[in-house]
Amino acid sequence: MNFEFSEEEQAFVREVERFLDENQDPEVMDVTRENMAQIVDTPPRRAFMRKMGQRGWLGMTWPKEYGGTDGEGVYEYLLNESLARRGAPQIGKGVGIIGKTLIRHGSEKLKREFLPKILNNDVEFAVGYSEPNAGSDAASMQLKATREGDGWRLNGQKIWTTSAHFAEWYWVGARTDPDSKHHGITLFLIPMDHPGLTVQGIPTIGDEITNSVFFDNVYVSDDYVVGQLNHGFQYISEALDLERFTMFTLSPILQRLEVLTNYVREASRDGEPLRKDPVVRQQLARLITEGEVARCLGLRVVAKSMKGGAPPTAESSSYKLFATELSKRVANTSMDIGGPGTQLRVKTKDAPMEGRAESTYRYTVLDTIGGGTSEVQKNIIARRKLGLPKNF
């Protein structure tokens, strides 16, 4: 495969960069907010994304009949990486997880109601898969959905739901058949202001808020069932392939690596330039090489997704595993090379790298959990790429 971009693709990147220059706003763009923190959680960030929607950049890979332009996936990849490089909010779960799943499997009613709102960035979603006893094994979810009239009554709890404290709609999986693990889950769309929902914030080590969500007799009509009954886990699996790639962009990792490289280029220790330290040079060379590996793994996902057919499951897991673990290695190395001063908080002017190492060190562990832990990715690669038995 060709690992370089065409002139047309490079021209698109330049257009995106001009747009970002014209809309530069510290309330919207902050490179010190780490990968999963690049969400649309404030009015300025929503307004910024609405401008992108007006340019036709949200959902540009969608079919024309649903408001897209049938664009190639590489353009969505280039857009998201450009946004991430500036610390701007990324196109996220509305366009990817919810929108693309509705296009494939949703009813005409759900498509009419939600797809235009997603393209205009008029709606934000929370995604509810994890539960206290169903984290990495999403198929074990037990949020109970009981048939009632022309709908379902939901009772139970979700946990680690990013965006629940500001989203308008909840994309949630629930157990509709207690006798089948993988074929007993159904997806629902629920308004977050439903009186039976209670959202309880959970502060994280990365200065972000995630949430527990409690369901107390939450009624959902059949109109808001996504796709076929009891096929939810299959839809979730498809969507996770998208999330593992689109939600964990490479640009922020390379940007932090550049910050570290610039620090080594200028800093000294005990009167000797760090750039001359053979151990430091070795560490940087390794990380730079691994950054190139991560880039190529990401391009493999783009290349396979553009061919159509089955989702690039093993490729997405390979990229997600390597890139997020690399992000941790960059953080760890930055702390080691920067020394004790790297424990000062981010944006401390006198700290090595202005405290970037400290925030990265705290936050990047979250990236190895979201979208499925590193252990889950290894199991997926073992089964679907290497053909090893499930219980190996």
At 281-321, the pLDDT tens digits run 999 999 999 999 999 999 888 888 777 666 688 898 999 99
With CA atoms as reference, report the closest residue to 220 among 259, 256, 190, 242.
190
pLDDT band at 237, cuts 50/70/90? confident
Give the pLDDT mean for 213-223: 98
**pLDDT greater than 80 at residue 35:** no
Q: How many residues make up the chain in this entry?
A: 392
What count of Cα atoms within 13 Å lies in the side-chain half-sphere of residue 135? 11
What are the two backbone dihedrals, phi and then psi, of residue 204, each rounded to the nearest 5 degrees? -110, 165
**What is the sign, positive or negative, of the torsion defined by CA atoms of 44, 47, 51, 57?**
positive
At 55-113, the pLDDT tens digits run 999 989 899 999 999 888 889 889 999 999 999 998 878 888 899 999 999 999 999 99
Would you say 359 and 207 are in contact if contact means Cβ atoms under 8 Å apart?
yes
Instruction: Look at residue 225 in the predicted model and tell me its pLDDT.
Output: 98
Give the pLDDT mean for 123-152: 91
Would you say 88 and 252 are in contact if contact means Cβ atoms under 8 Å apart?
no
What is the distance of C-alpha 334 from the center of its chain? 24
pLDDT band at 36, cuts 50/70/90? low
339: left (phi over 0), alpha (psi -120 to 50) or beta: left
Going along the chain from its start, the domains and CATH numbers come out as 1-229 (2.40.110.10), 250-385 (1.20.140.10)
Query: Above pLDDT 90, what percent of the chain?
Result: 69
What are the two backbone dihedrals, phi and then psi, of residue 120, each rounded to the nearest 5 degrees? -95, 0
> Which residues are paired to 221 by β-bridges?
151
Instruction: Look at residue 350 in the predicted model and tell me its pLDDT.
Output: 92
Exposure class string for 336-371: b at 16+ Cβ within 10 A, else e: ebbeeebebebebeebbbbbbbbbbbbbbebbbbbb
At 241-265, the pLDDT tens digits run 666 666 788 999 999 999 999 999 9
Distance (Å, whole) CA 331 – CA 325: 10
Q: pTM for the full model?
A: 0.88
Within a 10 A sphere around the Cβ of 149, how many other Cβ atoms?
9
